[in-house]
Structure 1
Amino acid sequence: MSAALSQRLEGRHALVTGAGGGIGAAIARRLVAEGARVTLAGRRKPPLEAVADSLPEGACFVADGFDVTDPEAVARGFAAARAALGPVAILVNNAGEAPSESFEKLHFEMWQKVINTDLNSVFIVTQHVLAEMRAAGFGRIVNVASTAGLIGYAYVSAYCAAKHGVIGLTRALALELARTGITVNAVCPGFTDTPLVQGAIENIAAKTGRSLEQSKASLVRGNPQGRLVTSEEVADSVAWLASSGASAVTGQAIVIAGGEVMAG
């Protein structure tokens, strides 16, 4: 990365939800490397502090207790983040979960939990940044969706429904904000090498009797490159979307999946 590019987000305050591990942690590290100051938002303090310890001193603020499904907790988290780092210019809605179950065995409570965590959270959190972004005439909202928001996958119906909703919300909001200097985009990773996917691999192995390697192969099979996506590859796309160079890019669902899904 060139010196010029490494500071293209200098002076920007970015807030990343679900920043305690996996894709969220990789995004936070990349945004800091680009010069941004980052609020690491999540429910639990220890994983957020572990990510903070890997970053330069003063580069981030830890907002624990940030339950993305609780409007009051989100309001408290934003107030603390603004007091620490100033107005939020970049929002990355990354928090989510993807439990696996057949539709017939899926209880309404689990359906509701996934919709709340993966879709309603984007509504709740995003409403907290629009006023300050409008006032600044600049804003970047990046929603971490999934290829499951573009196609279907068996046994994750709630997750697919939520991520389709995230992409629909992304497109609608992009049009509403098109003349404000605020862009709204989604990134859609395929199966990514994260603790979430490792958990899915273990779940497949437990339910099918396959080995972990065989279970992993069943997920990788759909990627023409024959591998899992890395968190850093997702973070690269988010960093570009957050930059001024992506000013004309809005309402997009950018697929990061080795050719598994070709949106057009």
Structure 2
Amino acid sequence: MNSQRVVVVTGGASGIGLGVSQLFARNGHPVAMLDVQEGALARESAALRDQGAKVLTHRVDVTDRAQVEAAYAAVRDNLGPIAIVIANAGISHAADFQTLPVETWQRMIDVNLTGVFHTIQPALPDMVAAKWGRIVTISSQAAQSGAQDRAHYAASKGGVIGLTRSLARELAALGITVNTIPPSVVDTPLAQESVRTGQFPSLDIISQAIPIARPGTPEDIAFACEYLCSDKASYVTGQEINVNGGMYI
């Protein structure tokens, strides 16, 4: 893979996004880490820069198109044209559908689905000009199998899968591939918080339902992103790459 391709990772300061940011940065790519967590952005980017990585950070709420566009302008000014986008930023929490407030539903859609739209669309001019681009969305196994008390989350991630497939068809002739990774259980701060608040059982208990009997790691997802964003995956588009330990087959 060309080590000078500029990579944008949303939700890039923790969990899956951090794992992706770290892998691409260590492979020599200029990486833009976009996130709402300013402290984590500062801490994690400093650690990568200490290792010699070229990293740009920007506080971005993906529901705000103006913030995304401002961040992309900074990326272009400081790193160059955007070649790879990992649309990872998202939220998740349990809620009973029968009493789900409209505002809670809308917030989930705004972050997890509309945020992906905001992340991808303004990056496309760079990819179209280069006749080369890689887009990976992070969806969820919940969209494939359904999820107890997370109908709003599963619906938002199902939308991401549908968007991914449609963009793969629309952009293929332009040299741009679009794929999605729907993880199952990944050991991230968000998952640990769900365990702490009683929304999930312990990860050890959940692992008993996974054929490869452990939760996934951010690195597991990052390695799949690495392949999908390489020249080796030039004939792979519109696919769901199920990095889930066999939990959904």
**TM-score, with length taken from structure 2:** 0.95
Alpha-carbon offset, residue 94 of structure 1: 0.5
1:257 equivalent to 2:244? Answer yes
1:168 equivalent to 2:146? Answer no
| Match among 33, 42, 56 for residue 40 of structure 1 | 33
Alpha-carbon offset, residue 217 of structure 1: 4.1
Q: Which amino acid aligns with 1:251?
A: G
Alpha-carbon offset, residue 192 of structure 1: 0.3
Q: 1:18 maps to which residue?
A: 11
1:62 equivalent to 2:57? Answer yes
Aligned to 1:35, the other structure's residue is in SS state: coil
Instruction: Work out the CA distance in 2 between the residues paired with 1:9 and 1:159.
Output: 35
Does the 8 Å contact 2:180/2:241 carry over to 1? yes
Deviations 1:159-183 (A, max 9, x none): 1000100000000000001111100
Instruction: Work out the CA distance in 2 between the residues paired with 1:139 and 1:146.
Output: 23
| Match among 92, 116, 119 for residue 125 of structure 1 | 119
Alpha-carbon offset, residue 18 of structure 1: 0.4
Instruction: Work out the CA distance in 2 between the residues paired with 1:125 and 1:146.
Output: 18
Mapping of residues 138-153 of structure 1, within 5 Å: 138-153=132-147
Q: 1:239 maps to which residue?
A: 226
Instruction: Work out the CA distance in 1 between the residues paired with 2:57 and 2:12.
Output: 9
Deviations 1:49-103 (A, max 9, x none): 1111221345110112x11000111111111111110110000000001011111
The farther-off stretch of 127-136 and 53-62 is: 53-62
Instruction: Work out the CA distance in 1 between the residues paired with 2:207 and 2:197.
Output: 15
Q: Which amino acid aligns with 2:224?
A: S
Alpha-carbon offset, residue 20 of structure 1: 1.1
1:229 equivalent to 2:224? Answer no
Q: Which amino acid aligns with 2:58?
A: A
1:105 equivalent to 2:99? Answer yes
| Match among 130, 138, 149 for residue 136 of structure 1 | 130
Matched residues, percent identical?
Answer: 37
The farther-off stretch of 85-94 and 41-50 is: 41-50
Mapping of residues 208-223 of structure 1, within 5 Å: 215-223=202-210
The runs of 4+ residues in structure 1 deviating greater than 2 Å are 214-222
Q: Which amino acid aligns with 1:133?
A: M
Does the 8 Å contact 2:62/2:89 carry over to 1? yes
1:49 equivalent to 2:42? Answer yes
CA-atom RMSD in angstroms: 1.4
Deviations 1:119-173 (A, max 9, x none): 0011111111111100000000000111112110101111100010000000000
The farther-off stretch of 189-198 and 99-108 is: 99-108
Q: Which amino acid aligns with 1:180?
A: L
**TM-score, with length taken from structure 1:** 0.90
Instruction: Work out the CA distance in 2 between the residues paired with 1:161 and 1:127.
Output: 21
Q: Which amino acid aligns with 2:232?
A: G
